[in-house]
Amino acid sequence: TGLVTLDPGFVNTAACTSDITYIDGDAGILRYRGYPIEQLAEKSNFIEVSYLLIYGELPTQQQYEEFAERIRRHTLLHEDLKQFFDGFPRDAHPMPVLSSAVSALSTFYQDSLNPFDQNQVELSTVRLLAKLPTIAAYAYKKSVGQPFLYPDNSLGLVENFLRMTFGFPAEPYEVDPALTRALDLLFILHADHEQNCSTSTVRMVGSSEANLFASISAGINALFGPLHGGANSAVLEMLEGIHSGGDDVDAFVNRVKNKEPGVRLMGFGHRVYKNYDPRAAIIKKTADEVLSKLNANDPLLEIALKLEEKALADDYFIERKLYPNVDFYTGLIYKAMGFPTKFFTVLFALGRLPGWIAHWREMLEDPARKISRPRQVYTGSPERAYTPIGQR
Ligand code: CMC
């Protein structure tokens, strides 16, 4: 008890200390374990970044190969897990399919329920990194009525995922190295972002000593929302809406400024970045490269560029320090790669997974750890006497 501070949305309250990710929102700085995101984006790869986030250091060559090999060996799903995909409606949104399948992993790996069994935690870590791409690809295949493809472990993680998603059993699948690299880069940029809504959720669920699969499943559900991971799909829906309404960017911006209910400039604004989002700067360059490589003359890109230009010069956005965030351009890239809009948030989840795991592990190793249990300020009725139902 004592003095309780009201802080809706934890705008000013730190819930933990963390060694993983550093953000300076005013300066537009993002670092994983001290390494600037720009350097990791240019020089590293997603497996290496996953290792860095989870274990705190860049791997040696041998550590890297062992880690990649362990992940490779665990890409298969239990055959019985495949039946889950048949239980969902064909047009199911893939995010709840993903979170349900991850939740179900707790039933297949019951040895891993103890979060303090270090060997099991290592195994669950690898299983999740290896299986989430397979689960995601199966969710996609189910939605389009195509057969599942088993993982091909001669391929790297991202290549394998692309092949399981877009390939067919009887045909060789040519994985385009430029696409693989672009998706790998997007995964790196999404890999961690300190105490965002889904990561805080993973920590909160894990603080009750729930196992890693249960905690990650909860994180996936938090990511589903349009103000968080769902924003990448919402951006594309917004651009499509503007396009089908006759490309009137000015009219849309006015609706945003008039605060019409439910109308926000999706892909703009961030709780922490108030200058620019360094991930958006890297992504914009990738968007140009990928879209020109795929010869995607997407009219939506034009609208996005116009929106960005207009918003950056408008007092409403300037006063509120609203800049493009990571999600503003990712949707256009994912669309050009062939992913349906509904699937974009799944790609965010694949990228964010190592961050969630790193935070869950850090939380459990923290000597200052406590079960998450926020306080509240009660604003309801004072004490009153019960009245029998006939007298109300
Ligand atoms: N379009 C129009 N107005 C906005 C927007 C926007 N995208 N974002 C914030 N505002 C306004 C908001 O109406 C408020 O104005 P006022 O002071 O007049 O009431 C002011 O800016 C401050 O906004 P807030 O909602 O208090 O800020 P927040 O820190 O609580 O919210 C946010 C951050 C990211 C949820 C919000 O900017 C937003 O909804 N953006 C659109 C959704 C989006 O792109 N989300 C992805 C975030 S990055 C990746 C991720 O985390 O998943």
pLDDT at 289: 81
To test the pocket of ligand 1, the residue of 316, 320, 329, 344 to mutate (highest count of ligand atoms within 8 Å of its CB) is 320
Nearest residue CA, atom 17 of ligand 1?
320
User: Ligand 1 pocket: which of 317, 325, 330, 345 to mutate (most atoms <8 Å of CB)?
Assistant: 325
d(CA 187, CA 355): 11
Query: What pLDDT score does 293 carry?
Result: 80
What is the rounded distance in angstroms from the CA atom of residue 185 to the CA atom of residue 187? Answer: 5
Which residues belong to the active site? 270, 327
What lies within 8 Å, CB to CB, of 46 at 6+ separation is 157, 158, 184, 187, 188, 191, 351
**Confidence (pLDDT) at 295:** 66
Strands of 21-24's sheet in order across: 21-24, 29-32, 35-36
Q: What are the structural domains of the chain?
A: 27-225 (1.10.580.10), 231-337 (1.10.230.10)
Chain centroid offset of residue 238 CA: 20
Ligand 1: residues with CB < 6 A are: 196, 227-229, 231, 256, 264-271, 320, 322, 325-327
Span from the CA of 89 to the centroid of ligand 1 (angstroms): 33
The residue nearest atom 8 of ligand 1, judged by CA position, is 269
- Nearest Cα residue to atom 34 of ligand 1: 270
0.90 exceeded by pTM: yes
Cα of 270 vs centre of ligand 1, distance in Å, is 6
pLDDT at 171: 85
Weakly modelled stretches of the chain, pLDDT under 50: none
pLDDT of residue 291: 81
**What residue's CA is closest to ligand 1, atom 3?**
264
At 177, the amino acid letter reads P
Supply the ipTM of this predicted assembly.
0.96
pLDDT of amino acid 1: 54
Are 330 and 236 a contacting pair, CB within 8 Å? no
